[in-house]
Structure 1
Amino acid sequence: MEKTFFLAFILTVIISCKNDTKSDQNDSVIGTEGNEKTAKQNEDLTLLKGDFIYYADAAVLQTHTEVYGVVIDEKMHELDKQVQQYKNADTDMVPVEIRGKIIPKPDNEVGWPFRVEIKEILNISKPNPEDNTVVKLGS
Structure 2
Amino acid sequence: MKKIILPLLFIIAFSCKNENSQEIQTLSGEFLYVADGAVLQTKSEVYAVAINELTEELANRSRTFQTDEFDMTSVTVKGIITPNNEEGWKNLLKITEIISVKKSDTKNTSIID
Where structure 1 has 5 or more consecutive residues not aligned to the other structure, the ranges are 1-40
Alignment partner, residue 85 of structure 1: 64
Q: Normalization by structure 1: what TM-score?
A: 0.61
Alignment partner, residue 132 of structure 1: 107
Percent identity of paired positions between Structure 1 and Structure 2: 36
Q: Name the CA distance, whole Å, in 1 between partners of 2:109 and 2:54.
A: 27
Alignment partner, residue 13 of structure 2: none
C-alpha deviation, 1:68, in angstroms: 0.1
Whichever of the two has the greater Rg, that structure is 1
C-alpha deviation, 1:56, in angstroms: 2.4
C-alpha deviation, 1:126, in angstroms: 1.7
* Amino acid aligned to 2:107: N
Q: Name the CA distance, whole Å, in 2 between partners of 1:102 and 1:121.
A: 15
Q: Which aligned segments of 4 or more residues in structure 1 are displaced greater than 2 angstroms?
A: 131-135
C-alpha deviation, 1:123, in angstroms: 0.7
Give the number of aligned pairs.
Answer: 91
3-state SS, counterpart of residue 26 of structure 2: strand
Alignment partner, residue 99 of structure 2: 122
Equivalences for residues 4-43 of structure 1 within 5 A = none
C-alpha deviation, 1:134, in angstroms: 6.9
Alignment partner, residue 100 of structure 1: 79
Equivalences for residues 52-63 of structure 1 within 5 A = 52-63=31-42
Structure number with higher helix proportion:
1
Kindly indicate whether the alpha-carbon contact (under 8 Å) linking 2:33 and 2:59 is maintained by their aligned counterparts in 1: yes
C-alpha deviation, 1:90, in angstroms: 0.3
Kindly indicate whether the alpha-carbon contact (under 8 Å) linking 2:30 and 2:109 is maintained by their aligned counterparts in 1: no
| 1:43-93 Cα deviation digits (max 9, x unpaired) | 610000000000122100000000000001111001001111000010000
Higher relative contact order at CA 8 Å, sep ≥6: structure 1 or structure 2?
A: 2
Where structure 2 has 5 or more consecutive residues not aligned to the other structure, the ranges are 1-19
